[in-house]
Structure 1
Amino acid sequence: MKSNVKLDATDRKILEILQANSNITNAQLAKEIGLSPAPTLERVNKLETSGVIRSYHAVIDPASVGLSVSTFVMASLKGHNKENIEKFIKAIKQIDEIVECHHITGAGDFILKIVCADIAAYQQLMLEKVSNIDVVDSLQSMVILSTFKDSKSLPVQN
């Protein structure tokens, strides 16, 4: 989002509603925010074109599609320079099981969220793909045992 995008209370309410239910119709959304459909659609379009709303997608339960193991992996690179960072990012973008990648401060350089069918698939992924990225120095895995909060909604209210 560009820093010059100004959000008023109505924009924030739209964002809150769309985060909870992106399948809501424009007519339903208009009713909930107290505007007619045309200005509501205009506001949503503005939020999309300005980059505030980046995408719409279904949130899938990993276990229901056979992904029962989730991990966080802290990756440290051999050298923290632009070339190594770019090589690492390019490589991890090619691995579908890596669903998140964050450049971090602290003990590691990146934290990855990885989903796999089972521990054997995770082990194979780590041995054959992730650890073979030539700029990786070390990896530290943390298996997720339970998840108590996994919200995709941002707190957009004032």
Structure 2
Amino acid sequence: MGAQTEQAGHAQVTLDDKDYEILKLLQENSKLTIREIASKVHLSPTPTHERIKRLEREGVIRKYVALLDNRKINKGITVIVQISLKEHNKRAAQEFIDAVLEFKEVTECYNISGDFDFMLKIVVESMGSFHYFSVNKLSEISGIAQTKSIFVMDTIKETPLLL
């Protein structure tokens, strides 16, 4: 499971089965103590702690977060927006990316292939909030040629778990 390779400019790190076990446990509950994790992966606390610190240092673990329920914090509208740019060069793409990184409404942004160049996941309070975002923020980005908005009616599966 662990050859080191380079993919899209990101060096992968070598991980063994214990690393994967630790990562799986942390994905499921990042509030577990070192002692609890060590017990579950059958290691003592010190090497478990050292492994977690290495995984953090090498960027395998990017950060620890609390996952929130959108609807319970009044963010009940999710919109997928596909975007094509007028020009296809590094400068135009970077200008778009720089603008999108400033928008708190954008929770995910992907550079995609096919008919569109980017796909955004927008999470907002209401249709009015999305309209405001679309008119006053998104449409102000000069390099956009076309957008297509897809409104999410229900979320069937949404998980940050990779393992």
**Shared fold (TM-score, shorter chain, > 0.5):** yes
Q: Which residue number corresponds to residue 137 of structure 2?
A: 129
2:83 is aligned with 1:96: no
After TM superposition, where is structure 1 displaced by more than 2 Å over at least 4 residues in a row?
none
Task: Give yes or no for the alignment of 1:2 onto 2:11.
Answer: yes
2:79 aligned residue:
71
Structure 2 segments unaligned to the other structure (5+ residues): 1-9
Give the letter aligned to residue 113 of structure 1. K
Q: Deviations over 1:39-64 (max 9, x none)?
A: 00000011111111111100001111
Q: Distance in 1 between matches of 2:95 and 2:55?
A: 33
Q: Distance in 1 between matches of 2:14 and 2:97?
A: 32
CA distance in 2 between counterparts of 1:8 and 1:88 reads 38
3-state DSSP of counterpart to 1:88 = helix
TM-score normalized with structure 1 length? 0.95
Provide the secondary structure at the position in 2 that maps to 1:99. strand
Percentage of pairs with the same residue? 36
Gaps of 5+ in 1: none
- Structure 2 match to 1:143: 151
Partner of 1:84: 92
Distance 2:124 2:51 in 1: 39
Task: Provide the rounded CA distance (Å) in 1 between the counterparts of 2:130 and 2:160.
Answer: 24
Which SS does the other structure have where 1:60 is aligned? coil
* Structure showing greater relative contact order (alpha-carbon pairs closer than 8 Å, 6 or more residues apart): 1
Provide TM-score, normalisation by structure 2.
Answer: 0.92
The size of the alignment, in residue pairs, is 154
Pairwise CA RMSD of aligned residues?
0.8
